Every structure is written in structure tokens, then in C-alpha cells.
Amino acid sequence: MRICLMGFGAVGQGVAKVVSQKKDYLLKNYGMDLKIVAVTDSSGAAISQEGLDPELLLKVKLESGKVSDYPEMGVKAIDGLDVLDKVEYDCLVEVTPTNIEHGEPAKSLTIKAIKNKKDVVTSNKGHLALFFSELMDLSQENGVEFKFEASVGGAMPILNFAQETLPGNEIKSILGILNGTTNFILSRMTAEGSSYEHTLQESQQLGIAETDPTQDVEGIDAACKTVILANAILGIDCTLKDVQVTGISRITSEAIDLAKKDGYLIKLMAEVSPDSLNVSPRLVREDSPYAVDGTLNMATLKTDLADDVTVVGKGAGSIETASAILSDLVNIWKSKKI
């Protein structure tokens, strides 16, 4: 399977590491020869029809910061859309930074790949939160797979879990923690009394915060994920503007201490139901399934047959997100045997 990897930040580099680490495993277990034939970042691209060396890509990126410095196969200042014309590939792996104003460049890259009958896997939330139904309709019209497990909750299994493990159940609502950065900040403030500003800086250093961290702390990232779950799991046709959002930037250490004294924690909760699309800080009991710490995400799915089902997992991080991307790639491979 030949992939074009668009974006080489924390998630893109995680994908390169996972491709390198799992190459033999994938070949042995699925007969899947996973090759990266192009990678882009803001400097340009590296392109090779025979496949790029993931370890060399990582080394070049670490040393110069530019994939376009890849020996012999680097191309300076080339646009991602043009890269898609320069190489033969089976699947676009789109991991550029989320944009919630216009969803670009993810939207145009995705549309181009789908129209060219290529499958698409993404961790991006912007274009999904703004244009979910248009993009799904387009992928169905073109008979290609469009998968986005990594866009919600990093390594926490939720989309494929709901669709493939709980078929036959009606999922009535979802309540959960869908942002790792804010959960990390709130957990640190609760456990150690660390300041909001200090902990936010720490989460940026860990590479879990968005390029623009206000998207995390103001609840916008969780709202994008709310839209994705609403559309993909509950079949609610909605976009970002339909979600009521309150972030955590006004949560004080005093409020956290007060809650703690009564056995409660403050968490940024996302509610997805036909009656409510809402992201806001809420009090949860210390002994409830919502009391997960650090970068963990969780979600309780209310179903008609299985009752409540709760999933938990690392909601952010380079390798964790790459794990969800790999699961989509393997599922596409198994369904198509490209």
C-alpha cells in the first residue's frame, strides 16, 4: 500500500516511526507492504515512487526541520496538491494542522484524492467539523474509503468501535472527555496545584496541544470531535456552529479545590445527543468513569441493547495518534487488498 503523507508535524512523524517499526509485522501478518511515497511539510516535499526511508525522513526533519532536504528526492516549495499529481499512490494520509475557519489545506487535498478515486485517512478535525456530510457524500459517490479514527480521541477506540463492534445497537448519546490537553491541565491543577499557564506550556512541550492551543482550552477542539461523533455515530447532520462551547480558561485553582473537598473533579465534558451538542466544564464524581487523568480521553456510549459502554485511551500524542491512523490503513488494506 503506497501512502502520500501530507503533514510532517508530531502526527506525521509518528506515522513515519510506526511505518518503520511495523514494516515486518504488517508484511508477515497481513501481507501488507506499507510504503511512504511522498511526504510534505511547509518547506516542500520528498517524493519517491520506490518508497522513502522513514528513518531517514525523521533524521532529516530532526536535523534541518525540512523534509525537502531529503537527499536527491527533496523538492522545495511544492504545493501538496501538486505532489498528488507527481506520484502514484493508493491512500492519502492527511495530517496537516487543523483549521477551523475554512478547513484548508485538508479539505482541498481530501477532495482531490477522493475525486482521483484514492482512499483517505485523516487525523484532521477542521474539514470534518465544517464539511462532514459533503466529504462523506463525495467519498461514497466515488466508491472510496474515507476514515478518521485518529480525529477523535487519538488512540481511544471510538469510531470503528461503535461502527464495527456495536452494530445492531442504537447509540443514543455519548458523554465523554474528548480533549487530552485540557484533561492534562485540569489533572495537574487538581493533583499538584500547578498554575494554568505553566501546565499549558507543558502540554505544548509534550506536543499534545494544537498548533493554536486556544482551540484546546476554549473547547473548540472538543467541539470539532463532538461534531464528528454526532455525524458519524448518531447520524446527526451538524457542523461546528451547532455546538454550544465553553472552555476551561476561566477555571481557577480555587474552584478546583472547592470541588475536590466535596469529592468532585472538574472536567471538560462533551455531550453528543439529538437534544444537545455541548462542550463545557462539569463536576464529575471522583469515583465515576469520568475521573480519568492526564492525556487520557474517555467516552460512555449509551446504547439500547448493551446499555452503557465506556472506552478509555490516550487522547493525544504522536505515536498514539499514529496508532489510530495505522488501524484505519490496515482496515482499508484488509477490505481491499490493494
Query: Does 179 engage in binding with ligand HSE (CB under 6 A)?
Result: yes
Q: In the set 154, 219, 281, 313, which binds ligand HSE (CB under 6 A)?
A: 154
327 is an interface residue for ligand HSE by CB under 6 A = no
Give rounded-to-5 percent helix, strand, coil for the chain. 45, 20, 35
Task: Give yes or no for a contact between 44 and 68, defined as CB atoms under 8 angstroms apart.
Answer: yes
Residue where the block lists cell 493525544: 316
How many residues interact with ligand HSE (rule CB under 6 A)?
11
DSSP 118-143: -EEEE---HHHHHHHHHHHHHHHHTT
Give least dist CB 211 to ligand HSE, A.
9
Q: Rounded to the nearest whole angstrom, what is the least distance from the CB of residue 210 to ligand HSE in the complex?
A: 4
- From the CB of 334, what's the least distance to ligand HSE, in Å? 25
Scanning residues 221 to 240, which ones bind ligand HSE (CB under 6 A)? Answer: 221
Question: Cα–Cα–Cα angle for 13, 17, 20, nearest 5°?
Answer: 140
- By the rule CB under 6 A, 296 interacts with ligand HSE: no
Applying CB under 6 A, the span of 18-26, 176-184, 244-252, 325-333 interacting with ligand HSE comes to 176-184
Is 315 an interacting residue with respect to ligand HSE (CB under 6 A)?
yes
Is 225 catalytic? The answer is: yes
Which is nearest to 156 in space by CA: 279, 318, 316? 316
Q: Out of 12, 54, 80, 180, which residue is the one contacting ligand HSE (CB under 6 A)? A: 180
CA distance 63 to 151: 29
Residue 209 binds ligand HSE (CB under 6 A): yes
CB nearer ligand HSE, residue 119 or residue 210: 210
Q: Which of 248, 265 has the CB closer to ligand HSE?
A: 248
Which one among 175, 243, 316, 326 touches ligand HSE, defined by CB under 6 A?
316
* 173 contributes a contact to ligand HSE by CB under 6 A: no
Under the criterion CB under 6 A, does residue 126 sit at the interface with ligand HSE? no
Tell me how crowded residue 319 is: count the other CB atoms within 10 A of its CB.
18
Burial of 88 (0-12, 13-18, 19+ CB in 10 A): exposed
* 84 touches 316 (CB < 8 A): no
Is 262 exposed, middle or buried (CB count within 10 Å of its CB: 0-12, 13-18, 19+)? exposed
Contact with ligand HSE (CB under 6 A): which of 208, 251, 272, 296? 208
- Identify any residues that bridge with 251 across adjacent strands, giving them in sequence order: none
- Closer residue to ligand HSE in complex, CB, 38/265: 265
| CB 313 to ligand HSE: min, Å | 11
Binding segment for ligand HSE (CB under 6 A), chosen from 31-39, 75-83, 102-110, 208-216, is: 208-216
- Closest separation between CB of residue 101 and ligand HSE, Å? 17
Q: How many CB atoms lie within 10 A of CB 233?
A: 21
The one catalytic residue in 107, 125, 225, 267 is 225
Binding of residue 124 to ligand HSE (CB under 6 A): no
CA distance readout (Å), 231 to 102, 179, 234, 277, 320: 19, 18, 6, 11, 24
Nearest C-alpha neighbor of 100 from the set 223, 203, 9: 223
Site residues (vs ligand HSE, CB under 6 A): 154, 179-181, 208-210, 216, 221, 315-316
The residues carrying an active-site annotation are 225
